[in-house]
Amino acid sequence: MHFPRPTRPRRAAAQLAVMALVAAGSGLAAAAAPASAATCANIDVVVARGTFEPGTLGTIVGDPVYAALQSALAGKSTSSYPVNYPASLDVFSNPNSATRGNTDLVNHVTSQATACPSQRFILVGYSQGANVVDNSIGISSDGALVGGPISETIPSSIQPRIAAILLFGNPIRAQGKSVTGIYASRTDDFCASGDPVCQSGGLNVGAHLGYGSDASAAAAFAAALVGCPLARWPQAREGAAPTRRRALTPRWRACGCAGRRRRPRRPRRRGRRLPGARRAGTTPRAS
């Protein structure tokens, strides 16, 4: 029988310290209240907060990231949805905290996609919330800190409408895992140096609480992808590279789209030829 290797005591202590600090800041943490059905905004930002993180979207990551997205996506309407799950240390019940969040996220995106056929989504996950997002896109967080097994995944018909995925302090990274496949080019996964939750051997507890400073960078990444036309998203099987006929512009390359770049036309050189001048490859006319 195979037993998982025990976590090193120092790293485990650092992880528990992170949870304790977040819990202390939140007081008596409760599950986020379910949001009412959002109107059909251009972009729906779905946020899974971290363990015991206070606030509806989350004061450490969710709130600053959503504010930065509203600024970066000026000209487009946005709505937000806080994933309704305990965000607790409940890892032993079935389903546990992360798996319950997984179910709620997929149910929300599926119902919104039906109600709003043109709406696109940005998924945001912090700490345990990153586990929730990982599970929802088919990357299991089972075995990671405050992780759990996959309950549901976003339907393939909706996958092209996931414009961007923003992850912070993602616990699966401490296991050497990351987002792969069709979502890889749409994912920005932040892991601060020394963060014990996402970096194996990390001991800097404060690093896990400072991701609000990455909000602007994350929003800029997502805004660039929102500009990618929906019909251009690659529909290839998981792990397959999109087809490229010519080199792509930076914007198309960031989108992961199979578009082609138009080469700029060279301006014609106009001017009178000097007497006796001739074009290359021609023979002089006999006089």
Q: Which residues are catalytic?
A: 127, 195, 208
For the chain, the helix, strand and coil percentages under 3-state DSSP, each to the nearest 5: 35, 10, 55
Relative to beta strand 187-190, strand 162-168 is: parallel
First-to-last CA distance in the chain?
Answer: 98
What is the SS3 assignment for the chain?
Answer: CCCCCCCCHHHHHHHHHHHHHHHHHHCCCCCCCCCCCCCCCCEEEEEECCCCCCCCCCCCCHHHHHHHHHHHCCCCCEEEEECCCCCCCCCCCCCCHHHHHHHHHHHHHHHHHHHCCCCEEEEEEECHHHHHHHHHCCCCCCCCCCCCCCCCCCCCCCHHHEEEEEEECCHHHHHCCCCCHHHHHHEEEECCCCCCCCCCCCCCHHHHHCHHHHHHHHHHHHHHHHCCCHHHCCCCCCCCCCCCCCCCCHHHHHHCCCCCCCCCCCCCCCCCCCCCCCCCCCCCCCC
Pairing between strand 187-190 and 43-48? unpaired
